[in-house]
Amino acid sequence: MKKILFTICFVAALAGSSFAQIEQGTVLVGPSTNLGFTSSSFDGADSNLTTFNIDLAAGYFVIENLAVGLSFGYLKVKYEDIIDESTTSFGLFGRYYVNGKIFVGAGYSSSKSGDSDAFGSLPLEVGYAAFITDNIAVEPSFGYELGLGDNDTNTFGLNVGFMLYLNR
C-alpha cells in the first residue's frame, strides 16, 4: 500500500511540474561557462592549449515562456607563448521554454578579437532548466554557433549555466 501511495504522489508531483510555465514579466539573469584544457602535438612537440569562456545573459519574458534579452561574452585562448588572444562579444537572444523546463534559443552576436574587424555569428542552443529552487536553475545546454559573413568558424559545445529568475 505504501508503494502504491508513493507512486501516486510521485506521478502527481511529476505531472504538476511538467506543466509549469514561466510567466510574462519574469526577469532572467545569469552566467554560463566552459573551461577547456587540451594537450596537442604540433610539429611533433607536446603543447598545451587552454581556453576559457564566460557568457552573461539578461532577459525579460515578453509573453509566457518567451524571453528576449542581451548577452555578453568573453573568450580567452592561450597556447604557450604563441597565441594569447581575447575575444569579446555582444548580442541579442530569444529563448522559448517548453513546459517551463526545456528551452530552445537563437540569437545574433557580434564579436571583436584584438585588432581584427568585428564579425557576426548566429548562436543556437537547446537545454534544460533544472530548478533547484523556485528562482534558481542549473541549465546544461548544447550550443552551436554558426559564423556569418567572412567568419567561417562554426562551433559546437556543451555549456553549463546558472540562471536566476526574478519575479517568478
DSSP string, the chain: -HHHHHHHHHHHHHHHHHT----TT-EEEEEEEEEEEEEEEETTEEEEEEEEEEEEEEEEEEETTEEEEEEEEEEEEEETTTEEEEEEEEEEEEEEEETTTEEEEEEEEEEEETTSPPEEEEEEEEEE-EESSSSEEEEEEEEEEEE-TT----EEEEEEEEEEEET-
Predicted confidence (pLDDT) per residue in 19-71, tens digit: 578 999 999 999 887 655 444 445 555 566 677 788 899 999 999 999 999 99
Burial class (CB in 10 A: 0-12, 13-18, 19+), 84: exposed
Q: Indicate whether 2 belongs to any domain.
A: no
Q: Indicate whether 15 belongs to any domain.
A: no
Count how many domains the chain has.
1
Q: Indicate whether 116 belongs to any domain.
A: yes
Q: What CATH number did the domain enclosing 75 receive? A: 2.40.160.20
Q: Indicate whether 102 belongs to any domain.
A: yes
Q: Indicate whether 1 belongs to any domain.
A: no
Q: Is the pTM value of this prediction over 0.85?
A: no
pLDDT at 147 over 70: yes
Q: Indicate whether 14 belongs to any domain.
A: no
Domain residues for 94? Answer: 23-166
